[in-house]
Amino acid sequence: MTAKTMTCDHPVKRRKKLIEVAIPLEAINCESVRESYIYKGNPSSVHKWWAQRPFAASRAVLFAQLVDDPSNRVEDFATEQLQDAERNRLFEIIQRLVVWENIHDDNLYTEASKEIRGSFARFCQDNPGLGLDAASLPTFLDPFSGGGTIPVEAQRLGFKVQARDLNPIPVLISKALIDLPHRLASISPVGEYNQFSDSLTQKGDLSALQKDILYYRDRVMEELKETRDALYPELIIEESMLPTGNESWAHYQFVPGQVVRPFAFLWARTVPSPNPGYSHKQIPLLSTFTLSSKKDKEAWIDIVIANGDLNYDIVLGRPVDTQGCKTGLKLKRGGNFRCPLSGDIVTDKYVKDQGMKGLIGLQLLAIVVQNGRNRCYLKPSRQCQEIAFSVGRAWDIETAIPNDKRSMFTPLYGLNTFGSLYTDRQLKGLKSIADKIIKIKDTIKRDAKKKLKLRCDADEISSEYAGLITTYLAFALSKCADYNCSLVTWYTREDRPSHLFTMQTIPMVWDFVELNIFSEIGGSFAKSVEIVASSLSGLPVNVEPGEAFQQSAQALATESSSNQFIISTDPPYYDNIGYSDLSEFFYVWIRYILRDSYPDLLATITTPKHEELVANPYRQIGKMEAEKFFLDGMAKALSGAAEISHPWAPITIYYAFKQSEVKKGEGAAITGWQIFLDALVKSGLKILGTWPLHTERKSRSIGQNVNALASSIVLVCERRSNDALSLSRSEFRRELRSALPEAIKRLESANIAPVDVRQAVIGPGMSIYSQCRSVLNADDSLMSTREALQEIQSVLDECLTKEDGLLDSDTKFALTFFESFGYDERPYGDAEGLALALNVSVEGVSKSGILNASAGKVQLLRRSQLPASWDPSGDARLCIWEATQYLIKRLDEGEAAASALINQLDAVRGHGDLASSCRSLAYRLYNHCEKTKQAEEARAYNGLVIAWPELEKLAAVAASPVQPSLL
């Protein structure tokens, strides 16, 4: 047991929890990834938020955070064997808890609750002086509630919950998930079409609430038919609209005069040609000619030049130049294109200049219509062109897009306001729906009041219920805006729109889709409401309503320490995601519809930004200021959390970060991970454990074709003792040498994957560092977090193998990655967690020439992929792994070539005995490859080792001065 002090200085005994010893990582990771493919019925789909934790992982972490480890229940499990058996039983409960299909298994959650309550009962028995009631669990708190995942799971596990956030959008999300539905669902359904008795809805059942959401959606849609017909009128098919080659395509057998309603218009942005001879002509900025890449349903745009004019034909069938069709007129990144008239390069600078002058225009390329189950592409007729440009802009959104050039790219091209991200038709369609949602609130209130007429609080409850339904409808419109702006590309593989937030940026898009918002496909208002309503199916039932309110996490520092909470949270990730800037896109619509329902929460015109705990250089005027702001603010928030955390259980904190190296001082590199650990230690918390969770699917919103987050680190923490002692660096290292071997053994026995061991072992290592008042270097200076991480990795290297301690960080990365995955291509997150543990970046390792990292994938380079001409003396980031691979590559050419490289390596300064290090690494790699039956690789390393004596002889001869001849 560990000792901790509570208010009034009562000594408190806390039993070690399961999460401090071991958790079934593989099961948690597998189910977390699988859950990310489940959209319908998933509460995360109620509204967009970034980097949400999977419900499975949140549920498992909470359970393990609250349940005693058997090693601290010796009265029940006296031997190690009994403790292992009990731990495996608890693992089996977690393995069932993380399965999505079990979320409504009452028996399972009764079993889980029994374990949690049993743990709390033991805490109360161990601490009778605290006067706690074992029947009353502490309240759960998430001070960075975000998408509401963790509070939902705490509620599911039987806790009364609080969700707090600075940003109004997360507060509303939490209200819609943990509060309002559980307080108000018992009065639904209230729609006039229902002639049901009050007994229809059982307490906690949300299905009737879902029916009301869909019912009032239909009422809104019914009132918008005239608007739909005006914005998306039916078209009369003309012969000229049919694509080339349509005769042989059955689903393109349209009859001239046939009436169809478009469900999408496909557009390209245009600029005047930069060639003076064609400057009066608008040229398209087409990033692709492809309309559909579906097999046997291919369609593409063919630009035909006639009399100096551009005409756009639609051709069916596979194009001859597939790659050229795919890339269109795009030349490279940014706004770089080819002018189809002159062949001149249209530079990004030119496009930006035109945008700033308001000279970027639009060209209608194609009309998409539905024919049975098929989507067909038609050429725009004059009638279509007139319809497309017929809508004026009577209303606009004037909120400025934040000037963060790292993630907000449209202002560079003249799109400076959120209103400028919509076409006139999109803006009018969205506003028409928003106005109807506002209007229907009175109808919902009236219907609810009829049902509640005998209740004295009928007016108050009916008003709240109307606010709840309109909140879900507003969420649907917000979701709809994600699919209905001029930054949404057409997904050619599936003939459907993509959506704006595929990454955590507002990108510039050159060709886009304008969806019929009143249609019945994904991204339309009707379908968006269905998704929002279905998301409630994944919520727990028969639970106590939670609380959600707006508060900066730094305000925890002023909260009374008499409030004691169980805390698990997912704070901002240093400088990775600008939540307040991105959420502004949604806030303009949410506030427009709901400000009367939530006047205090939505009082500000824009989302709060200055207190947001993100290192934002454009907001804090420079990187150093941004780092200090994050460090100080996060330390203050975590210090407040430490003061109000309940002594029964540790705090768990999720951290996910795309590791980047930040230059500081004389070229020293620091990382966001290190800065976060600095804040945590500064807050007065100590680290008890770290667990890597690989939770995001390959097509996650912030990882499509980019090197983004693919794993989270769960830190297990508790408040540091007030009487903590200081250690010298040598004592710290001695403590590490004592603790880490047992920790590694425990991790291996828990079946922790080798690639995760380096990250997981930071927990026990940082536990020693963070529980001290300070660790002093030999010159009495304070050891930094960076130095502590280096010491932990150094001792870990000693524990794994004595030879490995001599390796540089890039080689350690390559070695661990190779031992885990070989030369297989892997998701970026597999490398990211490892790089984070070694305090390097994947980008940095890639620069060393041993790794390819692109499009969200990472792969060690095989020797055959290494350039033939390599000079180690000119390599700015030389590492042992790279040198070893080149030695083998040169050995394949002959011993003379390999020995010459040895001499080159010996001449390199600052790397010790580099050649000998290569030989040692070859030994290590040979042993690994032999054990894993990688015969070809084993032979390569074995060959280098066997040839080494001869190579050294040849190298020595070549390096010796030429002796003068006696003849």
The per-residue pLDDT for 802 is 61
What gap in Å lies between CA 247 and CA 635, rounded to an integer? 69
714 pLDDT above the threshold of 50: yes
Number of other residues whose CB lies within 10 A of the CB of residue 826: 18
Determine contact, residues 277/342, Cβ cutoff 8 Å.
yes
Helix (H) or strand (E) segment spanning residue 107: helix 106-126
Tell me: pLDDT of 667 over 50: no
190-204, 299-313, 533-547, 814-828, range with the lowest pLDDT: 190-204
Between 439 and 855, the more confident residue is: 439
Residues 467-482, mean pLDDT to the nearest whole number: 97
Euclidean distance between CA atoms 254 and 237, whole angstroms: 7
Q: State the Cα–Cα distance between residues 733 and 744, nearest whole angstrom.
A: 16
Number of Cβ within a 10 Å radius of residue 857: 16
DSSP result, 175-221 = IIIIIHHHHHGGG----TT----GGGSPTT--HHHHHHHHHHHHHHH
Across 194-198, 281-285, 778-782, least confident range: 194-198
Could you tell me the CA-to-CA distances from 234 to 218, 243, 257, 263, 763 in Å, in that order? 21, 19, 11, 10, 64
Question: Between 895-907 and 935-959, two packed helices, what is the crossing angle to 10 degrees?
Answer: 70
331's tokens: 């030349």
User: How far, in Å, CA of 304 to CA of 145, rounded?
Assistant: 54
By CB atoms closer than 10 A (0-12, 13-18, 19+), residue 283 is: buried
Per-residue confidence (pLDDT) for residue 620, from 0 to 100: 76
pLDDT at 851 over 90: yes
| Cis preceding-peptide flag for 189 (omega within 30 of 0) | yes
Residue whose pair of structure tokens reads 């030049």 in the numeric block: 305
Kindly report the CA angle at 658 between 655 and 662, in degrees rounded to 5?
105
CA pair distance 834, 815, nearest whole angstrom: 11
Percentage of the residues of the chain whose pLDDT score is greater than 90: 58
pLDDT band at residue 9 using 50, 70 and 90 as cut-offs = low
Average pLDDT, the chain: 87
Query: Over 710-723, what HEC string results?
Result: CCEEEEEEEECCCC
Q: How far apart are CA 446 and CA 435, in angstroms?
A: 18
Predicted confidence at residue 193, as pLDDT, reads 62
Q: Which pLDDT belongs to residue 763?
A: 82
pLDDT at 958 over 90: no
Residue 567 has pLDDT above 50, yes or no: yes
Provide the CB-side half-sphere exposure for 821 (13 A, CA): 22
Can you give the pLDDT at residue 573?
85
666 pLDDT more than 50: no
Residue in 266, 268, 263 with CA at minimum distance from that of residue 231: 263
pLDDT of 149 > 60? The answer is yes
Distances (CA, A) of 821 to 417, 682, 923: 46, 37, 19
Q: CA 218, CA 529: separation in Å to the nearest integer?
A: 10
Structure tokens at 141: 């708190």
Q: What is the reported pLDDT for 801?
A: 66
Whether 744 shows a pLDDT value over 80: the answer reads no
In this prediction, residue 663 carries a pLDDT of 53
pLDDT score, position 10: 59
pLDDT tier for residue 696 given thresholds of 50, 70 and 90: low
The pLDDT-based confidence of 616 (bands split at 50, 70, 90) is confident
Calculate Rg over the CA atoms of the chain.
31
pLDDT category, 190, cuts 50, 70, 90?
confident
Q: Could you tell me if 706 and 9 are in contact, meaning their C-beta atoms sit under 8 angstroms apart?
A: no
Spatial CB neighbours of 317, under 8 Å, sequence gap ≥ 6: 245, 298
Least confident of 493-497, 666-670, 883-887: 666-670
Q: What is the pTM of this model?
A: 0.82
- Provide the token pair at 253: 């057998």
Q: Which of the two residues, 626 and 138, has the higher pLDDT score?
A: 138
**Where residue 529 falls among pLDDT bands split at 50, 70, 90?**
very high
Both tokens of 827, joined, read 């998701």
Q: Measure the N-to-C terminal CA separation of the chain; round to a whole number of Å.
A: 86
Q: How confident is the model at residue 710 (pLDDT cuts 50, 70, 90)?
A: very low
pLDDT band at 670 (very low <50, low <70, confident <90, very high): low
Of the candidates 451, 565, 518, the residue with the CA atom closest to the CA atom of residue 184? 451
At 778-826, the pLDDT tens digits run: 898 999 988 998 898 888 877 766 656 678 889 999 999 999 999 999 9
Q: Report the DSSP beta bridge partners of residue 712.
A: 693
Would you state the pLDDT for residue 454? 66
Q: pLDDT at residue 580 above 50?
A: yes
Amino acid at 188: S
Least confident of 147-156, 197-206, 291-300, 455-464: 197-206
pLDDT band for position 691 (cuts 50, 70, 90): confident
pLDDT for 711: 64
pLDDT > 70 fraction of the chain, expressed in percent and rounded: 91
Give the separation between CA 526 and CA 861, rounded to whole angstroms: 48
The least confident of 226-235, 409-418, 656-665, 834-843 is 656-665
* 750-769 mean pLDDT: 73
Report the DSSP pairing between strands 726-728 and 712-719. Answer: unpaired
For residue 154, the SS3 value is helix
Residue 753 has pLDDT above 60, yes or no: no
Residue 743 vs residue 488, higher pLDDT = 488
344 vs 340: CA distance, rounded Å: 8
The lowest-confidence range among 60-69, 143-152, 398-407 is: 398-407
pLDDT in the model for residue 555: 93
**Which is higher by pLDDT, 565 or 915?**
565
